[in-house]
Amino acid sequence: MKIAVASGKGGTGKSTVSVNLAYTLALKEKVVLADCDVEEPNLHLFFDAEETEKEVKVPLPTFDMEKCTLCGDCARFCNYGALIVSKEKLLFLKEMCHSCGGCRILCPAGAVGETEVSIGRILKSEPTENLTLITGILNIGEIKAPEVIKDVKITAEKIPDSQITILDSPPGTACSMVETVDSIDFSILVAESTPFGMHDIKLAAEVVKERNIPACIVINRSDGQDEAIEKLSEEMSIPILMRIPFEKEIARIQGNGEILSAHSEKYRNEFMTLSDRIRKIMGDAS
Amino acid sequence: MKKIAVISGKGGTGKTIVTGALADQLNAKMIICDADADASNLDLILKPEILRRIPHAGLKIAEIDQDKCIGCGECYEFCRFDSVIDRKDGTYIIDSLKCEGCGVCGLVCPAECIELKENICGEVFISGSPYGTVVHSELNAGSGATGLLVHEIKKNALEEATDEDLMLIDGPPGIGCPLQSTMSGTDYALIVTEPSQSGLHDLKRLVEVLEKLPVEIFACINKADLNPEITEEIISYLTDSEVPMLGTIPFDKNVIESVRSGIPVTKTDSPASDAVKEICNNLSEKIL
């Protein structure tokens, strides 16, 4: 089962929920924890383990200027403005290129080739006996986060015998979040009860609803004023399965990069209950 | 006109709270942009009144004419965004959420039955507010390409601007496409960070990105008292990186209350308000 932890708004506690749920489940079964927030990955800060590394590469076109006739077909085709062809020369702006491969297919002179360029890294480690952590990291200055996320997910799928994969989504509801929630089984939406949090959790809920992904809400840093989220939960028929109160001690543990569930039996039990309730929903659905 | 963006790396550190306070406090004629396009919340504080709505066309989306489709699957083979769905019954459809509008499917289709269609995926708003003109947006959930929308927002703000001294931009989290689009042509960045290992890690990545750009950087630390040790670590990192620290903001329940009442925190009487006012003053001395 693949579970994505998403939120819309940043900083609501996605990583807290992902790390603690994965840690708790891994006390009993094989778990893969995948950090899909490749622009600002943080899950590795909670674990201490040796990592293996591989590069994420994307194809980029190359141009053989001996063969190029400067016909300009490629520039007219490119919808991203990555190619400019004048009477004298061809200019390729690699930052704009989406690696679609169109210029190579259509070039009448056969002047376009392709090369692989590194845009990020995937780190793999086994911080506890049953837990595999996969972290995607976008290289500084690169923008193609969804391509790195794709690779994180492929790497996660290749881990043998894992019962459950938990994907920590980046904030927002744009390309990167959509890539993360693509073909998953369940989504945990982490909400906080401020007007900002409300607005953004609604957008995130709409994305998963549109994709027919069953979901639940976890309220983080609850100060007891959760009425607005409760109303949203009712309106969108997304159950609230857990509440984590605001406590300075929790903020301190989390801030130090420590795992709440490792400190507290109460939270181990609560995260175990959360997973039982999710499995019940999934069991009832299938 | 100078341009300043409030950014953070990590999400949820308090960018929008600080932007709202700057809008309230800076003594300059401002045009204000909400460039956190897929979690745009600044309107909840500034309460802008929408004057004009401009439809936002995102990347075009391919559409297969099912009557002409011969079911050859070439589009499925060549699409690099996995956005052609093989329905396993000899038909193919486009997943509009994944399509990036490159046009390769149309290029390889022997039946010439695929066309790129315009895709209105949100709206840009030009609004009035007591703090100045606000340019913000609403993006249909899941429609992607926020970098493009950020570009649209800034372009509209430049067109709207007349005699403004400053463009104030509430930026997105992260360091990828929307952030790069926010920083393009921007003179200053105010980083809002928080004292956690995640906050510090993300801050370092953000500073590394900004150091490659022609931009002057400042920083402040929100909820600084929640973890004084890491706050110290952040301050020493900022000193080493020669990023001027403009101040710290204490954890204060009045901040959430100000958001709930829909006003800038600087309109409340609270410790956080005093701290943010000092940061605004310090910034004002540096850039105005």
The token pair that represents B263 in the structure block: 């006003």
Number of domains into which chain B is organized: 2
**What does the pLDDT look like over A148-197, one tens digit per residue?**
999 999 999 999 988 899 999 999 998 899 999 999 999 999 999 888 98
The answer to whether the CB atoms of B10 and A106 lie below 8 A apart is: no
Residues B274, B175, single domain; the answer is yes
pLDDT (tens digit, 9 = 90+) per residue, B171-230? 999 999 899 999 999 999 999 999 999 999 999 999 999 999 999 999 999 999 999 999
Q: Choose one of B80, B100, B117: the last residue of a domain.
A: B117
The confidence score (pLDDT) of residue B261 equals 94
Domain boundaries, chain A: 2-56+120-285, 65-110
- Domain end call among B117, B140, B164: B117
Assign domain A2-56+120-285 to its CATH superfamily.
P-loop containing nucleotide triphosphate hydrolases (3.40.50.300)
Question: Between the CA of residue B197 and those of A23, A44, A188, B192, B201, what are the distances in Å?
Answer: 18, 11, 23, 15, 6
Q: Does residue B153 share a domain with residue B238?
A: yes
ipTM: 0.91
Domain termination site, one of B70, B99, B117: B117
**What's the pTM?**
0.93
My answer on whether B109 and B184 are in the same domain is: no
d(CA B276, CA B274): 6
Task: Give the confidence band of B58 by pLDDT, cuts at 50, 70, 90.
Answer: confident
Interface with chain B: mutation pick from A5, A17, A38, A40, highest number of B CBs within 10 Å: A40
Least CB–CB distance from B38: residue in A98, A174, A257 = A174
Buried b / exposed e along B166-183 (16+ C-beta atoms within 10 A): bbbbbbbbbbbbbbbbbb
Task: For residues B193 and B264, state if they share a domain.
Answer: yes
- B112 and B127 assigned to the same domain: no
Across the interface, which of A140, A211, A254 has its CB nearest the CB of B205? A140
CA distance readout (Å), B53 to A195, A198, A263, B30:
23, 24, 51, 20
Give the mean pLDDT of chain B.
95
The answer to whether residue B166 scores a pLDDT higher than 70 is: yes
Angle between helices A195-210 and B253-261 (to 10 degrees): 70
Q: Which chain B residue has the Cα nearest residue A81? A: B102
Q: Which range marks the domain in which residue B102 is found?
A: 61-117
Each residue's pLDDT tens digit, B110-140 = 999 999 999 998 999 999 999 999 999 998 8
Pick A65-110's CATH classification: 3.40.50.720, 3.40.50.1820, 3.30.70.20, 3.50.40.10: 3.30.70.20
Lowest mean pLDDT among A55-59, A231-235, A279-283, B94-98: B94-98
B:177-206 residues touching chain A, CB 8 A cutoff: 177-180, 194-199, 201-202, 205
Q: Which of A77, A174, A177 sits opposite B103 (nearest CB)?
A: A77
What average pLDDT does range B76-92 have in this prediction? 95
For chain A, what percent of residues have pLDDT higher than 70? 99
- Is the same domain home to B17 and B143? yes
Between CA A145 and CA A177 the distance in angstroms is 10
Spell out the residues 6+ positions from residue B261 whose beta carbon is closer than 8 angstroms to its own.
none
Whether B78 and B32 map to the same domain: the answer is no
**Cβ–Cβ below 8 Å for A174 and B9:** no
DSSP 8-state symbol, A170: P
User: Residue A59: what residue type?
Assistant: P
| Same-domain status, B100 and B232 | no
Residue A175's pLDDT is 87
CATH number of the domain enclosing B80 = 3.30.70.20
Q: In the structure encoding, which two tokens stand for residue B12, read together?
A: 């949820």
pLDDT band at A286; cut points 50, 70, 90? low
User: Is residue B127 domain-shared with residue B247, that is, in the same domain?
Assistant: yes
Both B102 and B48 in a single domain? no
